[in-house]
Amino acid sequence: MPPRLYHVSEESDIAVFCPRKPERGDLRDSPPLVWAIEEDCLPNYLLPRECPRVCYHATETTTGQDRAAHLSSAANHVVAIEHRWFARLRAATLYLYEFAPADFVPQDETAGYYVSETAQKPMANREIKDIPAELFRRGVELRVLPELFTLRRKIIGSSFAWSMIRMRNAAAES
């Protein structure tokens, strides 16, 4: 069964997602694409777009030692942000667009990325006004930290599946 695919935006009225040239340097030779995220990795994107974050979740290969050191609750998925972004997170409204998966192919299965080279009309759009509540509903622990680089260093060397997003916007490492 194909995964459920989503796009998260702060824009409420996107009728058609048109393919765009990827901004990432490693994809400069790629054709224009429409990007989607599968549901398991969706919590990593349930934040304001420019918010820096360290995200990680346990998999079947995550060690007991890593679980004990980095999971402080029953949650197997953590999204960590900086204190200075929390007010923006609380004030933000997100829109969760869902796509039919037929025209999408996996781009990076570990990260949950799927792409399509054709324009896509969303089949649904749901407003999210309370981001922390949405994360909690999905069983995700939200951590609000003074800075992210200490956690980033620990998680990169761990056995978790992880994603570090918009770290260029993080407060300078001390």
pLDDT single digits (tens) 33-42: 999 999 999 9
- Give buried/exposed letters for 26-62 (b at 16+ CB in 10 A, else e): eeeeeeebbbbbbeebbbbbbbbeebbbbbbbbeeeb
Please give the structure tokens belonging to residue 158.
């761990």
Q: How confident is the model over 91-130, as pLDDT tens digits?
A: 999 999 999 999 999 998 888 999 999 999 999 999 999 9
pLDDT in tens, 8-32: 999 999 999 999 998 877 778 889 9
Has residue 43 got a pLDDT over 70? Answer: yes
Closest by CA to 120, choosing from 50, 20, 29, 11, is 20
Rounded-to-integer distance, Cα 117 and Cα 65, Å: 42
- CB neighbours of residue 89 within 10 Å: 20
Give the confidence band of 72 by pLDDT, cuts at 50, 70, 90. confident
Distance between CA atoms of residues 147 and 15, nearest Å: 37
Residue with tokens 């001390």: 174
Per-residue confidence (pLDDT) for residue 110, from 0 to 100? 80
Summary mean pLDDT of the chain:
94
In the predicted model, is pLDDT for residue 50 greater than 80?
Answer: yes
Q: Give the pLDDT of residue 1.
A: 66
Question: Is residue 52 over pLDDT 70?
Answer: yes
Neighbour tally for 156: CB within 10 Å: 12
Which tokens in the block code for residue 5? Answer: 């695919």
